[in-house]
Chain A
């Protein structure tokens, strides 16, 4: 028995079969590609959704109002503690800075503020939170603790809005996951059914190979090579399709669904998405062939 002869036979048989019955293989590749496009689109949508959720929460600010007599060193301790607890960035805003900011926000009406004899605004600590620090439960606990500090007169972080936003984000993530699971399961069912159909048409060949002394491995190899080739072709097609879709959405003709985009373009890691689609294509092709051919090996 020669390994070289066998390998060359497996490859010749796989290519020969694809050449002889192109229709069945085109159907198999199309269904695989469809599954992979589904995966790519679902992945893209979930990334965009994630970005949307992050951008919605980017204005969340945790403001701690300080008593007039708060000592600078104590304020510094509190500032450092807030930063280390939330991984955010806390800055001290003096009453003068606060007044200046308010005056700027009010525009022309802000001039009235200069007439004030005393600055009524307290000094404060403003904490900008990173996305992972926007958990409403944690922030509520942090607010309660901070309110307990002697020189803190109040804490404000848009509690209600944040809670609602967090709920929406959670619901959106679940919906995304559900849609993804449905697309993926449908793909697996379609792919394995198609491959079974493709292999069913060759059950006679499998039977004869087995009857003349072919081992299971020998019978299976060409089918596995076909599965790999189908997976690679389908992945190439799927990557091109998703790329084309993204370019279309980014173009002017795609403005009808412009609300899906953020900052005018999709942030897509093509190398990563391509590798995932290729890997998934290979896995689906191989697994599909393996499972499908197994049914016909009992001769």
Chain B
């Protein structure tokens, strides 16, 4: 689903953020992306939803080489990718339901259907009763769940989440992870960037560890959990 070949990303005047990244994330796979702050996790995610283009190397998303993708084709590819942003990126002057429905609005979905699907999504995360309030009136955890609803309402093939449990208490963290697992079980490829080692230990998924812009470990299951346990 997501393939990278010798991908390097650098910004003028700075050392490269990512160096010679090679990875292959399969369909319906669940992958943790971990590593210390500044290791390049967010940049790697940005490359995946085309907010950034690689300086060198090739990236294939759902079989499409993004180097050959014209600027006008980017929106259509992005409609297959749901993103949960670290800073939520919710619009304060829209209601919670309107924020969720944004993803459906851009593809010209009928107004009533947008509302119906947004409410259904909010129900799944237990926030249906907050549908018509401003996101400003929600707690950090609630905002994060709204952000997840927006990413999922369109049933994307890929879900990218940047620190999705960063603002959640342990109970809500479990709830969020269950949601992500559920989405993954339905066939969506899920990539979660996190530096919460307990999360990786508990869920035992494939884990890519980044350090100074390179992948230093790519382990699965118990081995990944052990690795994290040793380092933390």
Contacts and interface: CB of A to CB of B under 8 A. Distances in A.
A204 interface: yes
Given A8-B111, A299-B51, A214 B93 contact: no
A148 B18 CA distance: 93
A6 to B, nearest CB: 4
A286 B130 CA distance: 37
A164 to B, nearest CB: 63
Interface stretch (A66-74, A77-85, A205-213): A205-213
A215 interface: yes
A218 B89 CA distance: 19
Interface in A197-254: 204-205, 207-216, 218
B103 interface: yes
A208 to B, nearest CB: 5
Interface residues of B, number: 23
Interface residues of A, number: 23
B91 to A, nearest CB: 6
Contact of B108 (A1, A20, A204, A207): A1
Contact of A214 (B106, B150, B154): B106
Interface stretch (B31-39, B72-80, B121-129, B199-207): B72-80
A2 B106 contact: no
A207 B90 CA distance: 11
B49 interface: yes
A156 to B, nearest CB: 74
B211 to A, nearest CB: 28
A215 B93 CA distance: 22
A169 B106 CA distance: 58
A208 B78 contact: no
Contacts of B105: 9
B157 to A, nearest CB: 12
B83 interface: yes
Given A1-B107, A2-B110, A5-B108, A213 B89 contact: no
B102 A212 contact: yes
Contacts of B83: 211-212
Contacts of B107: 1, 213
A5 B109 contact: yes
Given A213-B103, A214-B75, A299-B51, A208 B108 contact: no
Contacts of A21: 93
Nearest to B82: A212
Interface string B132-168: 0000000000000000001000100000000000000
B72 A215 contact: yes
Interface string B49-82: 1010000000000000000000010011111000
Contacts of B106: 209, 212-215, 218
Interface string B165-208: 00000000000000000000000000000000000000000000
Given A9-B105, A218-B106, A212 B111 contact: no
Contacts of A212: 78-79, 83, 102-103, 106, 150, 154
B89 A208 contact: yes
Contact of B93 (A3, A8, A20, A207): A20
Nearest to B108: A1
Interface string B84-127: 00000101010000000011011111110000000000000000
A104 to B, nearest CB: 81
26 contacts: A1-B107, A5-B110, A5-B111, A6-B108, A8-B111, A9-B105, A9-B108, A9-B111, A208-B89, A208-B91, A210-B75, A211-B89, A212-B78, A212-B83, A212-B103, A212-B150, A213-B75, A213-B77, A213-B78, A213-B106, A214-B75, A214-B106, A215-B106, A216-B72, A216-B75, A218-B106
Interface of A: 1-3, 5-6, 8-9, 20-21, 204-205, 207-216, 218, 299
